[in-house]
Amino acid sequence: MKSGIKNIFGYFVGILLFLVVIPGLMYAVSVKLVVPINSFLINIVGLGLMLVGSVFMIWSNIDMIKIGRGCPTDGFNIALGERTKKLITVGPYKYTRNPMLFGTVMFYFGLALVLGSLSALIVPVLFVSYMLWHIKKYEEPRLYKDFKDEYIEYKKRTPLLFPKFKK
């Protein structure tokens, strides 16, 4: 029961940060620093990116719960939810080692297009820069510690962020 509450807390923090705070910052920046890029086609592309991003975010979270039996919320090597017990290499994890981050990046870039402001891209660019540093500093060493050679082999065949779709 304790781990269930911890996972709920982890998801609450993640949803609050990634789907409320950061998009709110993007909106605030887009309103204050307007560099307009508005057109019907831009909005369609933006909505498409948001859809792709949402699919990757949801799919990877479902697999993390069902296959990895854990929660993705981890910051500065502090687990806000239960860490995965099994290395996930299928589903969206077959294409990228970080499908949640990939999905979030696509969602944020799509949102910036829908907001119609190039300046809204400041937030996701800073976010991605920080997350790539965080992955290298905390997440990858933890995954190696937890899964050893299995993680090394997975890392060799799967790109860090942008998916590589095989035939």
More confident residue, 113 or 52: 52
Q: Flag the least confident range among 44-58, 69-83, 125-139, 146-160.
A: 69-83
Whether residue 98 lies inside any domain: the answer is yes
**0.75 exceeded by the pTM?**
yes
Q: Is the pLDDT of residue 152 over 50?
A: yes
Total count of domains within the chain: 1
Nearest to 104 by CA among 57, 41, 152, 156: 57
Whether residue 9 lies inside any domain: the answer is yes
Residue the block writes with tokens 């990634």: 18
Whole-number Å distance between alpha carbons of 58 and 62: 6
- The predicted-structure confidence for 8-43, as pLDDT tens digits, reads as follows 666 676 677 777 777 887 888 776 555 556 688 888
Whether residue 146 lies inside any domain: the answer is yes
CATH number at residue 97: 1.20.120
Whether residue 165 lies inside any domain: the answer is no
Amino acid at 75: G
Percent of all residues in the chain with a pLDDT value above 90, rounded to a whole number: 37
Whether residue 166 lies inside any domain: the answer is no
**Which pairing describes strands 74-75 and 78-79: parallel, antiparallel, or unpaired?**
antiparallel
Whether residue 164 lies inside any domain: the answer is no
